[in-house]
């Protein structure tokens, strides 16, 4: 149950528009709902500001559908990452409003309109091969209702492409930078802007990249101040963190 629905329920109870038994029935799955294979955290949005996200990898299509149904029933927006096309088919059939994003391997269902937000999150990626991870970050930021801009295929092998977008980079409150190979792009971006940079190493690269380890170590050793690093291919984690930073900036502006 999201905060808006909970507030509405309590207001209805206070006004005598619903009964105590009805309210208890709607609250009985808080803080979590135990299933045979999972415990669905219905309290997550109240605590953290965003509902629990389904990690689809390793789950069966039936498990993903069940989790999606439980989260959707609470009235919140739903995000599932690392979902195969086969597993997504059952969810989209059950929820016509759901969308499967093949490149990002993510499922989304928006049930609440996005409020107008301030600030800007930029998602930057080095090459086209890095786009699946960048798109996972983008969708996460989008589902967390944050304004965003994408700047793709601006790797350091053609530095002029990035410099041509430097004015756009400086408009962002926080920047997610996705890169494989040698992982140099976040350091370059960090030297151009005053915004925090969240670096995402990808498993893209030739043999000596060691499935993203070379990029990860390069980003951890960045000489640019203000660069933090998430794990290899973790677009979701970077997008979530960027959205939180932008939300914090909005709160400070409003305060």
Q: How sure is the predictor about 41, in pLDDT bands with cuts at 50, 70 and 90?
A: confident
In a domain, 138, yes or no: yes
241 and 138 inside one domain: yes
The pLDDT value given to residue 52: 87
In a domain, 2, yes or no: no
pLDDT digits (tens, 9 = 90+) for 217-231: 999 999 999 999 999
Instruction: Give the Cα separation of 246 and 174 in Å (integer).
Output: 7
Beta bridge partners of 175: 122, 197
Q: How sure is the predictor about 43, in pLDDT bands with cuts at 50, 70 and 90?
A: confident
Average of per-residue pLDDT across 149-155: 96
In order of 47, 95, 151, 156, the CA distances from 126 in angstroms are: 35, 34, 9, 7
Average of per-residue pLDDT across 136-160: 95
61 and 139 inside one domain: no
Which of 27-41, 189-203, 236-250 is the most confident on average? 189-203
Angle separating helix axes 20-27 and 3-14, nearest 10 degrees? 160
Average of per-residue pLDDT across 165-189: 96
The pLDDT value given to residue 142: 95
Residue 92 structural domain: 27-109
160 and 228 inside one domain: yes
150 and 198 inside one domain: yes
Residues 6+ apart with CB under 8 A from 185: 124, 126, 154, 155, 156, 162, 177, 178, 179
The pLDDT value given to residue 189: 96
Evaluate if residue 128 carries a pLDDT over 80: yes
pLDDT digits (tens, 9 = 90+) for 237-255: 999 999 999 988 766 665 5
What global pTM score does this model have?
A: 0.85
132 and 211 inside one domain: yes
The pLDDT value given to residue 68: 93
Average of per-residue pLDDT across 63-88: 92
The pLDDT value given to residue 195: 95
Give the mean pLDDT of the chain.
89
Average of per-residue pLDDT across 200-228: 95
In a domain, 218, yes or no: yes
134 and 87 inside one domain: no
The pLDDT value given to residue 80: 96
126 and 105 inside one domain: no
């Amino acid at each position: 149950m999201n905060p808006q629905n909970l507030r509405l329920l309590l207001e209805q109870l206070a006004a005598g528009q619903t009964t105590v038994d009805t309210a208890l029935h709607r609250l009985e799955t808080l803080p979590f709902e135990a299933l045979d294979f999972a415990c669905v955290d219905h309290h997550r949005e109240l605590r953290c500001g965003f509902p629990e996200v389904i990690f689809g990898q390793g789950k069966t299509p039936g498990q993903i559908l069940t989790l999606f149904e439980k989260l959707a029933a609470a009235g919140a927006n739903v995000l599932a990452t690392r979902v195969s096309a086969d597993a997504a088919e059952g969810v989209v059939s059950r929820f016509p409003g759901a969308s499967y994003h093949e490149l990002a391997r993510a499922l989304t269902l928006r049930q609440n309109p996005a409020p107008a937000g301030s600030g800007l999150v930029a998602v930057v990626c080095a090459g086209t091969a890095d786009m699946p991870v960048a798109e996972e970050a983008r969708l996460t930021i989008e589902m967390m209702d944050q304004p965003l801009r994408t700047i793709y295929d601006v790797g350091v092998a053609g530095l002029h492409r990035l410099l041509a977008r430097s004015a756009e980079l400086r408009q962002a409150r926080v920047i997610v930078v996705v890169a494989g190979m040698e992982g140099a792009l976040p350091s370059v971006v960090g030297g151009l802007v005053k915004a925090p940079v969240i670096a995402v190493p990808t498993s893209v690269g030739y043999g000596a990249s060691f499935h993203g380890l070379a990029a990860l170590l390069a980003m951890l050793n960045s000489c640019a101040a203000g660069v933090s690093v998430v794990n290899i291919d973790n677009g979701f984690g970077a997008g979530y963190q960027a959205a939180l930073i932008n939300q914090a900036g909005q709160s400070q502006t409003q305060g």
